[in-house]
């Protein structure tokens, strides 16, 4: 077992059993002289691939911080230690300020990249949902506008159907007068006796025409009444649908506004996760 002489390294060695409690991510440590490792603490998933006594390797955090004479940090791909890590090397100096070794802390980046991927997915999903909400909002606005146009046309049709009542009353009045004319003609034909037979035939035809006209008017009136009722029902249905559309549009617009507020937050979270 290699004895540690530097006070800072000794203090760090005593702290090692407690260090994991200060980090949410998995960590590992090494301590070294300027030439070889003197302490290596692996963790469950981080294997430093070194033993006390092994020489420092160029490119490693211990070697590079001693060479640079300052703290260095680097991201190490998972192919090296089995998991992607961030290694931070700190040069250790003696009382005279001479570098005599290093302390290296290695932290797993697994959780970091999981958060990064989740925040990225969240940001992308919110962006897609926001786009969809905007499209739905625009589509609903078009539907509301079209519904209002249809409602206007239906109301006009309802008014037109009501206006036919005046026409029917006028025709009904003519039919009544025609019937009265036929009746008077029949009376006069009867008074004329033999000379009024031809006129009597005309009078009967006039009365038949009047009766037929009255019957047709009643049938037309019944049909128009049904049409008017149908138009009225359609109008009520469209009004109800319009109210629903407008209510949904309001909710969609509120949702779209909320998503627009969330998008920058998700983007910021994504940036912070990096």
Going by their DSSP bridges, the two strands 27-33 and 99-108 should be labelled as: antiparallel
CATH numbers and ranges of domains, the chain? 7-108 (3.30.450.20), 114-273 (1.10.287.950)
Phi, psi at 75, each rounded to 5°: -95, 125
Sheet holding 37-41, edge to edge: 37-41, 27-33, 99-108, 85-93, 72-76
Q: Is the dihedral of CA 23, 26, 32, 38 positive or negative?
A: positive
pLDDT at 236: 73
CA–CA dist 252, 157 (Å, integer)? 32
Residue 257: CB partners within 8 Å, gap ≥ 6? Answer: none
Residue 201: CB partners within 8 Å, gap ≥ 6? Answer: none
From first to last of its 274 residues, the chain has per-residue pLDDT tens of 566 767 888 888 888 888 888 888 899 999 999 999 999 999 888 888 899 999 999 999 999 999 999 999 999 888 887 789 999 999 999 888 999 999 999 999 988 888 878 777 877 777 777 777 777 777 777 777 777 787 787 777 777 766 676 666 766 676 666 666 656 666 666 666 665 556 566 666 666 666 666 666 677 767 767 777 777 777 676 767 767 767 777 777 777 777 677 767 667 766 655 5
Q: What is the 3-state secondary structure (H, E, C) of the chain?
A: CCCCCCHHHHHHHHHHHHHHHHCCCCEEEEEEECCEEEEEECCCCCCCCCCCCCECCCCCHHHHHHHHCCCEEEEECHHHHCCCEEEEEEEEECCCCCEEEEEEEEEECHHHHHHHHHHHHHHHHHHHHHHHHHHHHHHHHHHHHHHHHHHHHHHHHHHHHHHHHHHHHHHHHHHHHHHHHHHHHHHHHHHHHHHHHHHHHHHHHHHHHHHHHHHHHHHHHHHHHHHHHHHHHHHHHHHHHHHHHHHHHHHHHHHHHHHHHHHHHHHHHHHHHC
pLDDT at 182: 59
């Amino acid at each position: 077992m290699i004895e540690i002489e530097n006070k800072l390294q000794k203090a760090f060695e005593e702290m090692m059993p407690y260090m994991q409690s200060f980090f949410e991510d998995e960590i590992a440590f090494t301590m070294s002289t300027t030439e070889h490792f003197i302490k290596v603490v692996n963790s469950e998933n981080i294997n430093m691939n070194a033993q006390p006594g092994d020489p420092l390797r160029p490119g490693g955090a211990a070697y590079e911080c001693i060479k640079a004479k300052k703290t260095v940090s680097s991201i190490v791909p998972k192919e090296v230690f089995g998991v992607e890590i961030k290694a931070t090397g700190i040069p250790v100096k003696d009382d005279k300020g001479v570098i005599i070794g290093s302390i290296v802390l290695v932290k797993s980046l697994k959780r970091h990249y999981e958060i990064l991927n989740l925040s990225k997915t969240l940001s992308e999903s919110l962006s897609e949902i926001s786009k969809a909400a905007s499209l739905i909002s625009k589509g609903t606005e078009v539907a509301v506008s079209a519904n209002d146009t249809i409602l206007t046309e239906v109301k006009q049709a309802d008014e037109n159907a009501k206006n036919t009542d005046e026409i029917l009353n006028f025709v009904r009045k003519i039919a009544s007068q025609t019937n009265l004319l036929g009746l008077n003609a029949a009376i006069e034909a009867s008074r004329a006796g033999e000379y009024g037979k031809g006129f009597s035939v005309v009078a009967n035809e006039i009365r038949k025409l009047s009766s037929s006209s009255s019957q047709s008017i009643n049938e037309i009136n019944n049909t128009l009444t049904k049409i008017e009722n149908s138009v009225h029902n359609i109008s009520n249905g469209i009004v109800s649908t319009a109210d629903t559309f407008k209510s949904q549009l309001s909710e969609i617009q509120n949702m779209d506004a909320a998503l627009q507020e969330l998008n920058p937050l998700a983007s910021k979270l994504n940036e912070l996760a990096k």
